[in-house]
Amino acid sequence: MTKAMRLFGILAVAALVVAAASPVFAGCTPGKSMGQLSDINVPQATLWPGAVSDSATGQMIGRFWSPGTSRSVVSEGAYSVDRWLFDATLVGLPAGTIVYGFLGEGDVTGCPSNALITVIGSPQSDGDGASFVVGKVTEWFVGGALDFDYTRTSTETAGWVGKTIPKPAISATKQPGTRILDITLQGTPDVAPLFYGEPGMLPTEAIVARRLYQFIGPGAPGTQRSPATSAWTYANQRFTGVVGGGPATLPAVNCDTLGAGNDIFFAWALEFEGGLVSDFVGKSQQVVCNSGLAAPGKFKNIDKRQGPKNK
């Protein structure tokens, strides 16, 4: 019995191995596996500073697919993240979560091959955005227990570390005599640190663009926007690559059209290989429109957890 299989038994889910013997239930026959429990390298954890770290709560979301193949053909399907992301302390690691998935499960769509991209998103515990890890690894053909061994992707001692996307850098200027804001995006974030790949792999092999999203809603101090991308509206601003870039002018905003007490919020989401957009956005930036009416003309950016500061 291999080391990875013994550790998998500790997780009390070794029954998954039985699926490999039955083509009726297998997406891959013979079954394949992926994760951070390696027979070649020391098992690794995924750490989630400031984020929800329990996959069983239903708040974390995990995706995987073979690059270059439609997700409708090969993907995690209905194989939910709580079934392949576990508490790392169960296998003797000090903290975090650990990936171990069996691709012979019947609710995996198709059979991943050649390479695998895995994305995990975890909401921040304070409600402001989410943390991400994005990994890519090639299929392993040297006899190890893992077909997709993610311990080959990390240069950090812990393994993977979830990182959030910084809030958008926004400046807003009121047009004279109006309540219309001219909004400038001062730059785009560097999201390369979210990626973990084998030596020589580029982050753009998994993360192809950053998309700007917006939300219009109450701007009271302490208000938390949902981190779910589905709760936001795409701002039609897409920037390819992963490295921060220069400024961009956004469409002007008429505060009178937003409704009483409403401000506008901006946040970044990720676009992955194959066109998939991240389930969560990163940290958000609030631009005061109507929550600052007590101080006419005080249009500015604020950290929503601090609230507007009147001079």
Domain boundaries, the chain: 3-164, 169-302
Confidence of residue 307 (pLDDT cuts 50, 70, 90): very low
C-beta separation of 93 from 102 below 8 A:
no
Residue 197: half-sphere exposure toward Cβ, Cα within 13 Å:
18
CA distance readout (Å), 301 to 165, 254, 287: 18, 16, 5
Class of domain 169-302 as given by CATH: mainly beta
The 3-state DSSP class for residue 189 equals coil
Q: Helix-strand-coil percent breakdown of the chain, rounded to 5?
A: 15, 35, 50
Return d(Cα 192, Cα 130) in angstroms, integer.
Answer: 16
| Residue range 122-132, pLDDT digits in tens | 999 988 999 99
C-beta separation of 11 from 100 below 8 A:
yes
Return d(Cα 83, Cα 197) in angstroms, integer.
Answer: 23
Lowest mean pLDDT segment, chosen from 53-57, 220-224, 239-243, 257-261: 220-224
Residue of higher predicted confidence among 42 and 222? 42
| Residue range 267-302, pLDDT digits in tens | 999 999 999 999 999 999 999 998 865 444 455 555
What's the pLDDT at 304?
44
What's the pLDDT at 143?
59
Residue of higher predicted confidence among 27 and 196? 196
C-beta separation of 259 from 217 below 8 A:
no
pTM: 0.86
Instruction: Select from 165, 135, 128 the least CA-distant residue to 150.
Output: 135
What's the pLDDT at 23?
35
Most confident of 5-19, 22-36, 137-151, 231-245: 231-245
Helix (H) or strand (E) holding 6: helix 3-10
Instruction: Select from 306, 40, 291, 63 the least CA-distant residue to 152.
Output: 40
How is residue 155 written in tokens?
């240069």
What's the pLDDT at 231?
95
Q: Does pLDDT of 2 surpass 70?
A: no
Residue of higher predicted confidence among 64 and 4? 64
Rounded mean pLDDT of 74-96?
92
Q: Does pLDDT of 58 surpass 90?
A: no
| Residue range 89-143, pLDDT digits in tens | 988 888 899 999 999 888 999 999 999 999 999 999 988 999 999 999 999 876 5
Q: Does pLDDT of 199 surpass 60?
A: yes
What's the pLDDT at 9?
55
How is residue 185 written in tokens?
């995006």
The 3-state DSSP class for residue 38 equals coil
Q: Other CB atoms closer than 10 Å to residue 272's CB: what's the count? A: 19
Report the sign of the C-alpha dihedral through residues 263, 237, 275, 202, in that order: negative
CA distance readout (Å), 282 to 94, 122, 220: 27, 10, 20
Q: Other CB atoms closer than 10 Å to residue 222's CB: what's the count? A: 9
Residue of higher predicted confidence among 307 and 61? 61
Q: How far is CA 163 from the centre of its chain?
A: 9
What's the pLDDT at 188?
93
